[in-house]
Amino acid sequence: MASLTPSRATSAAAPSGPVARVRNHDRSFGDTHVLRSVDLDIEPGEFVALLGRSGCGKSTLLRSLAHLDPPPVGEVEVSGRTSVAFQEPRLLPWRKVQENVALALLNSPERKQRFELAEQTLTEVGLTDKLDAWPLQLSGGQAQRVSLARALVSNPALMLLDEPFSALDALTRIDMHQLVIELWRRHSMAILIVTHDVDEAIALADRVLVMDGGRIAREWSIEPRRDDRAPSKPEIARIRAEMLSALGVHPTPANPNRKAVHKQGAA
């Protein structure tokens, strides 16, 4: 959770170059070399998915982008505000929902403004009726919506999502996919999502990266509209098989019942 300047009205104009630029980035913990000379650009408004086996460096790269683990000077540059939502919602159980979201705006001196923006953002994620609820009164999906609201309320240029839907049931995940796409379109922010789920990456992202051995090993651009990414579509089936192969997984049949992320009139 980051404390960031809140006002949507005063948010900076979209950068002319990449919103995030990573160059020759290395990261070691003791004798373990986690990231090796990683190069990555994320453009304003781009939706990027990052896949990889456990221990390949996905979450470490995300933490560097969020400056949660400050990287060496010059290796990671981000233009604009950055926010993070994690696999666990990480809500403070002794604070109500609206207060949890407002915590991301502690740089604002006006308590009234913080709570107004928190309420506005909770309305965007469909939780207007949960402002005064305690975190323990929420379902898993509702708690993750609060986590998204807390990441969104500061109007970030780059939102980082670290496996935020992996603990949710299948139907709730579909709902959350749709919500994230709607928020992304509405706010024109860039998103990087770390996931283990190939189908989730294909459903959500413009570009999918596979990490292996601390490096970005493969990259795909997903061209079809999000409502035209059925697993049975030959182009999607081919990309899926290539991703699974890059992950060292023997391809299995895609779930034909997975619903495509769809919003009428949008790509």
The mean of the pLDDT values for the chain is 86
Percent of the chain's residues with pLDDT above 70: 87
| pLDDT exceeds 60 at position 2 | no
Q: What is the pLDDT of residues 236-256, one digit of tens each?
A: 999 999 999 999 887 556 566
pLDDT at 30: 81
Q: Does residue 97 sit within a domain?
A: no
Question: Who's near 94: CB < 8 A, 6+ residues apart?
Answer: none
| Mean pLDDT confidence for 9-30 | 75
Q: What is the DSSP secondary structure assignment for residue 201, as one 8-state letter?
A: H
Q: Does residue 199 sit within a domain?
A: yes
Structure tokens at 1: 């959770």
Question: Who's near 49: CB < 8 A, 6+ residues apart?
Answer: 192, 193, 194, 195, 200, 201, 202, 204, 205, 207, 208, 209
Looking at the structure of the chain, the number of domains it has is 1
Q: Does residue 182 sit within a domain?
A: yes
What is the C-alpha separation between 68 and 4, in angstroms, rounded? 14
Q: Does residue 109 sit within a domain?
A: no
Better-predicted residue by pLDDT, 234 or 255: 234
| pLDDT exceeds 50 at position 1 | no
CA distance readout (Å), 172 to 117, 125, 142: 25, 13, 10
- Contact between residue 110 and residue 58 where contact means Cβ atoms under 8 Å apart: no
For the whole model, what pTM was predicted? 0.85
CA distance readout (Å), 186 to 85, 88, 123, 177, 223: 18, 25, 14, 14, 20
pLDDT confidence tier of residue 28, bands split at 50, 70 and 90: confident
Helices assigned H by DSSP within the chain: 58-65, 97-102, 111-124, 140-152, 170-187, 198-204, 234-246
Q: What is the pLDDT of residues 139-160, one digit of tens each?
A: 999 999 999 999 999 999 999 9
pLDDT at 87: 86
pLDDT at 6: 36
Most confident of 10-24, 67-81, 113-127: 113-127
| pLDDT exceeds 60 at position 7 | no
Structure tokens at 4: 């960031």
CATH number of 227's domain: 3.40.50.300
Q: Does residue 50 sit within a domain?
A: yes
pLDDT at 54: 85
Q: Does residue 232 sit within a domain?
A: yes
- 169: three-class secondary structure by DSSP: coil
Q: Does residue 203 sit within a domain?
A: yes
Q: Does residue 74 sit within a domain?
A: yes
What is the extent of the structural domain holding 69? 20-81+156-246
